[in-house]
Amino acid sequence: MSKIIIENSIVESNERINSNVYLLKVTSPEIASQIGVGQFCNIKVSDTDYPLLRRPLSICDVEDDKLFFLYQVVGVGTEILSRKMKGDRLNILGPLGNGFNIQDDFETAIIVAGGIGIAPFPFLIKKIMNKNIITYVGFKTKADIIDYGLKNCKYSTDDGSLDFKGTCVDLLKSEGKTLNSKCKIFACGPNSMLRNLKEFCSDKNITCEVSLESVMACGFGICQGCAVESKNDDNYKLVCKDGPVFNINEIKI
């Protein structure tokens, strides 16, 4: 595992993408030179004790010495983050966790993302441009749709306000008859979505890696707060240290 760095990073921009999703760009040369696809950073959004903990965010993209984070405002921490402006400083801990494995033998990458679950994929897509890529991406409604950094997108909406009505996994199922062993699925999204996907992958016998989200304090294995049940034995794995990317068969979702 690479070295974990704490870096005082400078906000370059913090752009609102839709009603509650933002794209944060920071200059963070040391972390940017180390971080890999599917890893994450733990960000201190305030200099005070409130909120106390860092906020874990997937790496969305990297350009030279810049880190990109795509995040949804869900609580007090992300709300404070959304008010950061160019020139503000952010204390960032990273790179953390184990990312996607893109070295193995596959010809087509199927990306399956629900909502803000698209966050880790722009960087992944950049790194696998030599492969066929199909992205199945689902949102609640048309107004939520984001295609930032994605490629070859097929959309689903829960309410049918755009394209396929249903979830992105339903969409994948409806189109997925042609999937074969040369395909590999990369997924991120709510647990209900991942459960459906797991079923589909085991039916079709397709390799699938998922990036999990979890509440956590430290991000590097000492607080043990981000436990997820392991499929293979009776123990827990830690999302921060053993993941956040897991083979979908390794864990109980």
Partner 1 sequence: MDINLSVNIGKLKICNPIILASGTVGYGEEIAKFLELSKIGAIITKSISLKPRKGNPPQRIVETPSGMLNAIGLANVGLEEFITNKIPLLEKFNSTVICNIAASSIEEYVECTRTLNDFDIIKAFEINVSCPNVREGGLIFGNDLSAVGKITNQVRAATEKTIIIKLSPNNSQISEFAQVVKDEGGDAVSAINTLVGTAFDINTRKPIIKNITGGLSGPAIKPVALAKILEISRKINIPIIGLGGIMNWKDVIEFMIAGASAVQIGTVNFINPFAAYEMIEGIANYCISNSIKNISELTASYQL
Q: CA neighbours within 13 Å on the CB side: how many for 150?
A: 26
* 46 lines the binding site for partner 1 (CB under 8 A): no
If the CB atoms of residues 17 and 76 are measured against partner 1, the closer one turns out to be 76
CA distance 2 to 32: 12
List the x/- string, 101-130, binding to partner 1 by CB under 8 A.
------------------------------
Min CB(246)–partner 1 separation in Å: 14
For residue 45, how far is the Cα from the chain centroid?
19
* 229 lines the binding site for partner 1 (CB under 8 A): yes
Min CB(192)–partner 1 separation in Å: 15
Min CB(86)–partner 1 separation in Å: 25
Q: Which DSSP category does 3 fall into?
A: P
Query: Which of 19, 47, 49, 105 is the binder for partner 1 (CB under 8 A)?
Result: 49
Name the segment binding partner 1 (CB under 8 A); options: 24-32, 51-59, 127-135, 199-207.
51-59
Min CB(236)–partner 1 separation in Å: 6
Residue type, 116: I
Min CB(57)–partner 1 separation in Å: 15
Range 7-36, binding partner 1 (CB under 8 A): none
DSSP state string for 158-181? TT-SSSEES-HHHHHHHHGGG--T
CA distance 6 to 16: 26
Contact 215, 225 (CB under 8 A): yes
Min CB(72)–partner 1 separation in Å: 17
* 87 lines the binding site for partner 1 (CB under 8 A): no
* 224 lines the binding site for partner 1 (CB under 8 A): yes
Q: CA neighbours within 13 Å on the CB side: how many for 232?
A: 6
Contact 140, 157 (CB under 8 A): yes
Contact 37, 60 (CB under 8 A): no
If the CB atoms of residues 116 and 238 are measured against partner 1, the closer one turns out to be 238
CA distance 231 to 241: 17
CA distance 61 to 149: 8
* 251 lines the binding site for partner 1 (CB under 8 A): no
Residue type, 120: P
Query: Which of 218, 245, 248, 251 is the binder for partner 1 (CB under 8 A)?
Result: 218
* 80 lines the binding site for partner 1 (CB under 8 A): no
Residue 220, classed as helix, strand or coil, is: coil
If the CB atoms of residues 44 and 173 are measured against partner 1, the closer one turns out to be 44
Residues in contact with partner 1 by CB under 8 A are: 3-4, 6, 44, 49-54, 93, 214-218, 220-229, 234-236, 241
